[in-house]
């Protein structure tokens, strides 16, 4: 018996499309049922909202095959950054699961696992709703109307036009993220009057104690809220200035990929399925990874590279306006194999070398899948920036100046990129004899460390 017979001919003559999928639902007894109409207005709004979010990211209408965990995860992450409530996130996550189950029942799709999508710790944020009352307006005509101004409006109407001119979209996004996190803790939209030492410090303390957020993330929230706070206080819109000390953030040991891991990554890139716009994915990813490895550039500047700045002899210019800080251009020479890979993804009429037709954030999701295929960790520290750290570490180990390569203003910034295993730092175990030993054996012949040990031995008094 085929699936159509099992469903009693509910969808005779219907094409397997997303619009037709909305005509069906899974009933209370887990049986497929056909809707007489789409239903309540809330459901129609949810469908329109999800499809609109998809189209804004992928620049095309949503289709049946887009009901999958990758798309759901990418959209959920985007909604989380926009500050959507956890209840709404759970409903939209459930919508994807329900649509997949319905498509499976119709025989239009295979069953997919949506359990790996991290919606968030709802119990933590629900418990955080402090129900802090809206601050009372301060006395004085200058401050009275400003105290109850929503922080997001303050950011968009006052701070951004004067202090964030020329800054990247990502910088503005980070400010909004901090404001949204503050609002979730308050249980309402944050207003300017909430920027006081008691309320902000309570929010930061709670974030450190009751969430899995890293100290650096909480410090970022503190820093950005205090910047907005100071801006308002200098204009007399708030009576007190921030007095909250910076949160100590432990510095992590920089790590790079080994040669074997880079080979694994490249093999995974060369076997990537599907297409990126008009280019085969198994050609796009090797070209992108090769370019970042040759230059050590950031992913944002790489995606902005135009073909007119790529020369036939292998030299490429990264324009200053696309680089962090937007201060100066940077030139690099590419390997012949990198040039060949770039030539293989050339599309007539396409000005960008690495044209990415989707939302910027989605590239990290797609690259994460490649990392998993390569058997490498898929987390925030193991994305494109790790290739940058790998290039910097290998360049320094080969005798180059990684500070100049990465175009850092200070050497201390570069040190956060250099893997001590790659640059071969000397440690006590390398040159200091062990307890009760007079010499230390080395398995490395003709190394500088061995020469140094011999020199020390020769200097001992006889």
**What are 355-396's pLDDT values in tens digits?**
998 878 889 989 999 999 999 999 888 999 999 999 999 999
Element (H, E) at 315: strand 315-318
Q: Among 357, 394, 387, which residue's Cα sits nearest to residue 371? A: 387
CA 25 to chain centre: 35
Q: Can you give the pLDDT at residue 120?
A: 60
Comparing 230-239, 291-300, 310-319, 443-452, which segment has the lowest mean pLDDT? 443-452
Cα separation of 385 and 298, whole Å?
A: 7
User: At residue 47, does pLDDT exceed 60?
Assistant: yes
The answer to whether the CB of 151 falls within 8 A of the CB of 191 is: yes
Lowest mean pLDDT of 6-10, 178-182, 372-376, name the range: 6-10
Q: How far apart are alpha carbons 51 and 62 in whole angstroms?
A: 6
CA distance 112 to 68: 7
Question: Which of 27-36, 46-55, 243-252, 297-306 is predicted with the least confidence, judged by mean pLDDT?
Answer: 27-36
Q: Quick one: average pLDDT of 44-65? A: 85
End-to-end CA distance of the chain: 95
Query: Hey, is 64 helix, strand or coil?
Result: helix
Q: Which of 69-78, 133-142, 258-267 has the lowest mean pLDDT?
A: 133-142
Q: What is the pLDDT of residues 267-315, one digit of tens each?
A: 999 999 988 988 999 999 999 999 999 999 999 999 999 999 999 999 9
The pLDDT, as a whole number, for residue 123 is 41
Q: pLDDT tens digits for 239-261? A: 899 999 999 998 889 999 999 99
pLDDT at 130: 57
- pLDDT grade for 158, boundaries at 50, 70 and 90: very high
CATH classification number, 259-415, choose in 3.40.50.2300, 1.10.443.10, 3.30.420.10, 1.10.3720.10 = 1.10.443.10
| Interstrand relation of 330-333 and 315-318 (parallel, antiparallel or unpaired) | antiparallel
Query: What pLDDT score does 454 carry?
Result: 64
pLDDT at 2 > cutoff 50: no
Domain boundaries, the chain: 3-120, 127-234, 259-415, 428-458
Closest by alpha carbon to 68, among 104, 42, 41, 44?
104
The pLDDT assigned to 28 comes to 66
* 40 has pLDDT over 50: yes
Residue of higher predicted confidence among 91 and 84: 91
The percentage of the chain sitting over the pLDDT mark of 70, rounded to a whole number, equals: 84
> What pLDDT is recorded for position 122?
45
* Average pLDDT value for residue range 320-335: 89
DSSP string, 111-135: ----TT-----HHHHHHH---PPPP
User: For residue 69, what pLDDT is reported?
Assistant: 86
CA-closest candidate to residue 294, choices 281, 279, 278, 305: 305
Averaged pLDDT of the chain = 85
Containing 179, the helix (H) or strand (E) segment is: helix 169-186
Determine if the pTM surpasses 0.85: no
Ranking 60-69, 114-123, 301-310 by mean pLDDT, the lowest is 114-123
pLDDT at 367: 95
Q: Which residues pair with 331 in a beta bridge?
A: 317
Q: Which two tokens stand for residue 390?
A: 């790998």
């Amino acid at each position: 018996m085929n699936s159509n017979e099992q469903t009693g001919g509910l969808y005779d003559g219907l094409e397997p499309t997303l619009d037709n999928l909305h005509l069906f639902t899974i009933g209370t007894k887990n049986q497929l049922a056909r809707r007489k109409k789409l239903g309540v207005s809330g459901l129609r709004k949810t469908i329109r909202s999800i499809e609109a979010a998809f189209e804004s990211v992928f620049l095309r209408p949503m289709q049946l095959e887009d009901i999958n965990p990758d798309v759901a995860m990418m959209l959920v992450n985007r909604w989380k950054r926009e500050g959507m409530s956890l209840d709404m996130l759970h409903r939209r996550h459930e919508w994807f699961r329900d649509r997949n189950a319905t498509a499976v029942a119709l025989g239009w799709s295979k069953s997919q696992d949506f359990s790996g999508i991290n919606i968030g710790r709802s119990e933590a944020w629900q418990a955080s709703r402090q129900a802090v009352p809206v601050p009372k307006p301060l006395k004085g005509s200058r401050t009275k109307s400003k105290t109850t101004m929503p922080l997001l409006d303050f950011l968009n109407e006052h701070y951004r036009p004067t202090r964030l001119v020329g800054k990247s979209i990502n910088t503005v996004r980070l400010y909004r993220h901090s404001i949204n996190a503050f609002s979730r803790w308050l249980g309402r939209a944050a207003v300017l009057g909430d920027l006081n030492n008691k309320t902000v410090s309570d929010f930061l303390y709670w974030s450190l104690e009751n969430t899995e957020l890293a100290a650096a993330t909480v410090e970022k929230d503190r820093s950005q809220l205090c910047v907005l706070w100071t801006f308002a206080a200098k204009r007399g819109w708030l009576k007190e200035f921030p007095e909250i000390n910076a949160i100590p953030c432990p510095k992590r040991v920089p790590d790079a990929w080994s040669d074997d891991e880079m080979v694994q990554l490249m093999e995974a890139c060369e076997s990537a399925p599907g297409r990126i716009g008009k280019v085969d994915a198994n050609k796009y990813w090797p070209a992108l990874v090769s370019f970042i490895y040759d230059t050590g550039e950031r992913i944002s500047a790489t995606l902005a590279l135009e073909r007119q700045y790529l020369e036939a002899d292998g030299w490429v210019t990264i324009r200053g306006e696309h680089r962090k800080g937007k201060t100066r251009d940077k030139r690099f020479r590419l390997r012949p194999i990198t040039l060949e890979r770039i030539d293989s993804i050339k599309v007539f009429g396409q000005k960008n070398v690495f044209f990415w037709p989707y939302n910027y954030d989605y590239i990290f999701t797609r690259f994460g899948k490649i990392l998993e295929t390569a058997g490498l960790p898929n987390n925030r520290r193991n994305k494109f920036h790790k290739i940058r750290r790998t290039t910097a570490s290998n360049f320094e180990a080969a005798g180059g100046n990684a500070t100049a390569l990465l175009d850092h203003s200070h050497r201390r910034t570069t040190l956060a990129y250099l893997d001590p295993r790659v640059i071969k730092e000397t440690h006590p175990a390398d040159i200091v004899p062990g307890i009760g030993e007079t010499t230390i054996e080395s398995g490395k012949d003709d190394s500088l460390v061995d020469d140094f040990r011999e020199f020390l031995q020769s200097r001992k008094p006889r």
